[in-house]
Amino acid sequence: MIRYGIIGTGMMGCEHIRNIEAIEGACVAALSDPHAESLAMGRLACGDRAAEVEGFAEAGALLDSGLVDAVVVASPNHTHAAVMDEVFERDLHVLLEKPMCTTLEDCRRVAERSEGHPGVVQVGLEYRYMPPIAHFLRELPSVGELKMLFVREHRFPFLPKVGDWNRFSRNTGGTLVEKCCHFFDLMNLAVGAEPLRVYASGAQDCNHLEERYDGEIPDILDNAYVIVDYEGGARACLDLCMFAESSRNEQEIVATGSAGKVDVVVPDGTLVRGGREYRKWEELPPEPDPRIAHRGLHHGASYIEHLLFLDAIRESRPPEVGVREGLASVALGVAAHRSIEEGRPIEMRELV
């Protein structure tokens, strides 16, 4: 039995709780959150086991409790680096939610400290495990040599958080770090090469403009285009819009290569595959993952993420998604923001 502690019991922390409680051989043993209402939400997510779970206001008290073997860090983005400093003082396994940190400097520090850490350090980039996206990744070889990768997310605005901390880039790392590190991870995974440069254009055009926090206006982007050039000539493009609530599908991912094209939409899950013949394609139905016992907010991706995390713990091996992938996904988001701010392409060698 692997005993989990959950650090941060907001929306994503509660999502982790529900997934863990659905897995045989794992349980939530302790929770921590300085916000009493969030801590109560975490207990509620534990269901019938709520009375067996200890609650703490501070992460350090949970880490010192001796009640847990592994922790999930799901606290606000800007707290990740400080919480991880505390985790590294204990011999615990950790699943660190995305984004890994809000700055490259903090990401590098976490990556460096993880090298000597005895526990598994996994980063929560779970989109690659959504059944429709996993199906898409399995079909990638059919396109031949990948030349172009396109990711569209057209969705609703940022959700409310405690104190609305996510309204400011200083707390989130910026929209293209906070929201899009998942997609940059998918780009890196699908292309399988090093990113060379980033070109981006974006703005805050519609969302949160009437909100005020101590007289301060939120500064988070709500739309952007980002193009990434990779070694070997492949390129990827992100199209993000966060005032597109009426979209039929929230995400669309398209890969085009020397031998054909594959595209998938989420949440519908329909995959379309074709070669180079004019207007000839086939639709493939969604492929569910039989391992998933709890679908939750991410189509079962978080459940698979925990199965793999537990496997890494029990087999004493590195995780599939570690600090290298976490750092790389943040680096592309940071480069995109810098490209928008400075109005120029950003060479990745400037940052990494």
- Tell me, yes or no, whether 136 and 268 share the same domain: yes
Residue 352 has pLDDT above 80, yes or no: no
- Tell me, yes or no, whether 175 and 50 share the same domain: no
- Tell me, yes or no, whether 244 and 307 share the same domain: no
Q: Identify whether 246 is part of a domain.
A: yes
pLDDT at 181: 98
Q: What are phi and psi of 10, to 5 degrees?
A: -80, -155
- Tell me, yes or no, whether 206 and 133 share the same domain: yes
Q: What are phi and psi of 29, to 5 degrees?
A: -110, -25
Q: Which residues contact 162 (CB under 8 A, 6 or more apart)?
A: 10, 35, 37, 38, 76
Q: Identify whether 294 is part of a domain.
A: no
Q: Identify whether 295 is part of a domain.
A: no
pLDDT at 144: 98
Q: Identify whether 296 is part of a domain.
A: no
Domain total in the chain: 2
Q: State pLDDT tens for residues 279-298.
A: 999 999 999 999 999 999 89
Integer Cα distance of 302 and 127 in angstroms: 8
Domain enclosing residue 165, as ranges: 128-289+329-350
- Tell me, yes or no, whether 137 and 122 share the same domain: no
pLDDT at 266: 96
Q: What is the mean pLDDT of residues 78-102?
A: 98
- Tell me, yes or no, whether 42 and 95 share the same domain: yes
pLDDT at 51: 95
Residue 3: pLDDT band (50, 70, 90) is very high
- Tell me, yes or no, whether 147 and 242 share the same domain: yes
Q: Identify whether 80 is part of a domain.
A: yes
> Quick one: which of 138, 176, 146, 180 has its CA closest to 264?
138
The predicted model scores a pTM of: 0.96
- Tell me, yes or no, whether 146 and 93 share the same domain: no
- Tell me, yes or no, whether 257 and 224 share the same domain: yes
pLDDT at 50: 95
Q: Identify whether 182 is part of a domain.
A: yes
Residue type, 10: G
For the chain, what is the mean pLDDT? Answer: 97
Q: State pLDDT tens for residues 25-43.
A: 999 999 999 999 999 999 9
Q: State pLDDT tens for residues 236-285.
A: 999 999 999 999 999 999 999 999 999 999 999 999 999 999 999 999 99
pLDDT at 319: 98
Residue 69 has pLDDT above 90, yes or no: yes
Percentage of the residues of the chain whose pLDDT score is greater than 90: 99
Q: Identify whether 52 is part of a domain.
A: yes
Q: Identify whether 118 is part of a domain.
A: yes
- Tell me, yes or no, whether 149 and 252 share the same domain: yes
CATH of the domain at 132: 3.30.360.10
Residue 134: pLDDT band (50, 70, 90) is very high
Residue 59: pLDDT band (50, 70, 90) is very high
- Tell me, yes or no, whether 150 and 53 share the same domain: no
pLDDT at 129: 97
Q: State pLDDT tens for residues 137-181.
A: 999 999 999 999 999 999 999 999 999 999 999 999 999 999 999
Answer yes or no: are the C-beta atoms of 90 and 68 closer than 8 Å: no
- Tell me, yes or no, whether 269 and 341 share the same domain: yes
CATH of the domain at 30: 3.40.50.720
